[in-house]
């Protein structure tokens, strides 16, 4: 039983640097990115979004980098765009676009 809890905590700590953008206010996500780099000492942060929140995720990354983290030398390391199968309310299978933006702290 203890072994399972340890595995879960390891998995949760690995996912600590992933921010999923959704319906919350814009600045909540910007603050989340900034906290990951400055307070938690992460070297990489992933910003993920699906569907209509993709543009919000891009804005979050740009505001965080250009306004709050301009002295931190944060660069966009990778951007991956995919489509995920999704079942809508009527039970019809549709595809929803998703984006994953990888930010990394560059050492000068």
- Find the CATH number of the domain harbouring 97: 3.30.110.20
pTM exceeding 0.95: no
Q: For residues 20 and 26, what is the distance between their CA atoms, to the nearest angstrom?
A: 12
In total, how many domains does the chain have? 1
Q: For residues 45 and 103, what is the distance between their CA atoms, to the nearest angstrom?
A: 5
pLDDT the model gives residue 24: 96
Query: What is the per-residue pLDDT across 10-38, written as a single tens digit (0 to 9) for each?
Result: 344 456 899 999 999 999 999 999 999 99
Q: Which domain holds residue 7?
A: 2-105
Query: What is the per-residue pLDDT across 54-73, written as a single tens digit (0 to 9) for each?
Result: 999 999 999 999 999 988 89
Q: Give the strand pairing for 74-87 and 44-50.
A: unpaired
């Amino acid at each position: 039983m203890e072994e399972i809890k340890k595995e879960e905590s390891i998995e949760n700590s690995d996912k600590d640097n992933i921010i999923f953008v959704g319906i919350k206010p814009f600045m909540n996500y910007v603050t989340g990115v900034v906290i990951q780099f400055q307070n938690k000492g992460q070297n990489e942060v992933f910003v993920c979004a699906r569907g209509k929140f993709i543009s919000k995720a891009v804005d979050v990354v740009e505001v965080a980098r250009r306004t709050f983290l301009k002295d931190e030398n944060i660069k966009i390391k990778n951007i991956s765009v995919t489509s995920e199968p999704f079942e809508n309310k009527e039970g019809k299978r549709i595809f929803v676009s998703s984006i994953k933006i990888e930010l990394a702290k560059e050492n000068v």
